[in-house]
Amino acid sequence: MDTVIVLFTRDLRVRDHPALTAACARGGHVVPLFVLDPKVPAGRRAGFLTDCLADLRASLRARAGDLLVRRGDTVAETMRLAAEVGASEVYASADVSALARGRERRLAGERIGLRLFPGLTIVPPRELLPSGGGDHYRVFTPYWRAWAAHPRRPVLPAPSRVPLPPGLEHGLEHGLEHGLEHGLEPGDLPGHAPHPALRGGEPAARARLELWRREGLDGYADGHDDLAGDRTSRLSPYLRFGCLSPLEAACVAPVEHPFVRQLCWRDFFHQVTLAFPAICRRDYRPRPRRWRDDAEAVSAWKAGMTGIPIVDAGMRQLLAEGWMHNRARMIVADYLVNHLGVDWRVGAAHFFDLLLDGDVADNGGNWQWIAGTGNSPRPGRVLNPLRQARRFDPVSGYIHRYVPELSGLVPAEAREPWRIGGVRGYPAPLTALE
């Protein structure tokens, strides 16, 4: 019987997985594979990834399948496995980053068939192109209009059986534990503790989605910018690893709902990245700008010790949780780039290292937006962190939560402690603000 390898990357689920469904529908054997590739360091995401892989393996085993985990170069390992099992084709989810596209090109050049499927975004980037020409949408609003009107494929159920070839059911050469032992150590980013427990995997993602649908969705439109209210879905790490299909997430609300619009931002930056794969490295829209090289300021920013409480609260949330509220991300990014004058790439790299949802397209796209080098129709806009704090953290609940040195202060003092002569143990502001 014919054998197909399903190469999992950041689509770690069995439900609504077009490549897996198509492989199972062929009627031959299916070998699910994940490769721990040193070119894709997991950093602080290692623990979350371990959960995702363990759950995926359990789901596949429950369907008479299994997950082979290997370590090394993805293409070399895929081809090695193909030779071992006599596979004729590789099925995978089409991706957008430079690294992923390079992998796809290399696989396409091997002596094996490669079929790429949708699944990483709601609308596949190649399916939606501007009517006036061009290889991608540069501005969000027209993209949003076209995206909202675009027909979506149906959500796919998980396959009931994933038929492994005989002889592979037992004695997998490299187990998950082996791969993790030799490839990814939780906390392998020097100087930082691993993330506190946020369980990865498809069951956890589905539980989070269900809870969010029941308890969070209604308050989202009015509350998503409220820093202390913390009313966003927190689905981003699950979407990052594909434990949850973005298409399925979008089905919880009508297309015009602000939550679905946020999911559209994710698709938007993915189609930008497909057209401009250097999104994390090079200015999308170059602007003449001289960046400051200020190692001390960067260290203070990273440590949440800039002396600007709303900025420090955000940076400390990132350190503690591996996640940061979107409004806080905007404030801290804007502060680094537009107030400290530091190159956006410095901030993007730090975010990418620490965020559980750290993702090339979303991270690069958002940092460039803030820096005025990306897709913003109003580049050059600068946020005032004090005004942002007054508006989005009016009773300083967010500051009090993450900056304990200021917890005894009334809201206005906690936002601007220098006005009361400062607080012992908390730094003076790096920059003067009005």
Rounded distance between C-alpha atoms, residue 320 and residue 263, angstroms: 25
The tokens for 36 are 């721990």
Task: Name which position in 3, 59, 363, 375 contacts ligand FAD (CB under 6 A).
Answer: 363
Residue 343 touches ligand FAD, criterion: CB under 6 A: no
Whether 318 contacts 354, CB under 8 Å: yes
Whether 123 contacts 143, CB under 8 Å: no
Task: Name which position in 72, 307, 358, 417 contacts ligand FAD (CB under 6 A).
Answer: 358
Rounded distance between C-alpha atoms, residue 270 and residue 413, angstroms: 41
Contacts of 90 (CB under 8 A, 6+ apart): 4, 5, 6, 7, 78, 82, 107, 112, 113, 114, 115
In the complex, least distance from residue 282 CB atom to ligand FAD, rounded to whole angstroms: 17
Residue with smaller CB distance to ligand FAD, 143 or 259: 259
Residue 317 touches ligand FAD, criterion: CB under 6 A: no
Q: Following DSSP, what letter does each residue of 13-39 receive, concatenated?
A: -STT-HHHHHHHHTSSEEEEEEEE-TT
In the complex, least distance from residue 324 CB atom to ligand FAD, rounded to whole angstroms: 7
Task: Name which position in 143, 269, 301, 398 contacts ligand FAD (CB under 6 A).
Answer: 269
Residue with smaller CB distance to ligand FAD, 29 or 316: 316
Residue 362 touches ligand FAD, criterion: CB under 6 A: yes
In the complex, least distance from residue 147 CB atom to ligand FAD, rounded to whole angstroms: 13
Q: Following DSSP, what letter does each residue of 215-271 receive, concatenated?
A: HTHHHHHHHTT-TTTT-S---HHHHHHTSS-HHHHHTTS-TTSHHHHHHHHHHHHHH
Residue 48 touches ligand FAD, criterion: CB under 6 A: no
Residue 367 touches ligand FAD, criterion: CB under 6 A: yes
**Contacting ligand FAD within 228-247 (CB under 6 A):** 232-236, 239-240
In the complex, least distance from residue 103 CB atom to ligand FAD, rounded to whole angstroms: 20
Contacts of 141 (CB under 8 A, 6+ apart): none
Residue with smaller CB distance to ligand FAD, 44 or 329: 329
Residue with smaller CB distance to ligand FAD, 174 or 213: 213
Task: Name which position in 104, 357, 389, 403 contacts ligand FAD (CB under 6 A).
Answer: 357
The tokens for 403 are 């900056």
Rounded distance between C-alpha atoms, residue 218 and residue 254, angstroms: 12
In the complex, least distance from residue 312 CB atom to ligand FAD, rounded to whole angstroms: 16
Rounded distance between C-alpha atoms, residue 427 and residue 413, angstroms: 14
In the complex, least distance from residue 337 CB atom to ligand FAD, rounded to whole angstroms: 9
Rounded distance between C-alpha atoms, residue 315 and residue 300, angstroms: 10
Residue with smaller CB distance to ligand FAD, 114 or 263: 263
Task: Name which position in 71, 329, 339, 350 contacts ligand FAD (CB under 6 A).
Answer: 329
Stretch that binds ligand FAD, among 32-40, 156-164, 166-174, 326-334 (CB under 6 A): 326-334
Residue 355 touches ligand FAD, criterion: CB under 6 A: yes
Rounded distance between C-alpha atoms, residue 14 and residue 244, angstroms: 9
Nearest residue to 204 via CA among 32, 17, 47: 47
Stretch that binds ligand FAD, among 15-23, 167-175, 325-333, 408-416 (CB under 6 A): 325-333
Whether 389 contacts 325, CB under 8 Å: no
Residue 63 touches ligand FAD, criterion: CB under 6 A: no
Whether 128 contacts 271, CB under 8 Å: yes
Residue with smaller CB distance to ligand FAD, 22 or 255: 255
Residue with smaller CB distance to ligand FAD, 239 or 399: 239
247-266 footprint of ligand FAD as x/- string (CB under 6 A): ------------x--xx-xx
Q: At what angle do helices 344-354 and 326-334 cross, to 10 degrees?
A: 150
Rounded distance between C-alpha atoms, residue 158 and residue 337, angstroms: 44
In the complex, least distance from residue 122 CB atom to ligand FAD, rounded to whole angstroms: 10
**Contacting ligand FAD within 205-224 (CB under 6 A):** 224
Contacts of 234 (CB under 8 A, 6+ apart): 208, 212, 323
Instruction: Kindly list the residues in this chain that would bind ligand FAD in the complex (CB under 6 A).
Output: 224, 232-236, 239-240, 259, 262-263, 265-266, 269, 326, 329-330, 333, 351, 355, 357-359, 362-363, 366-367, 370
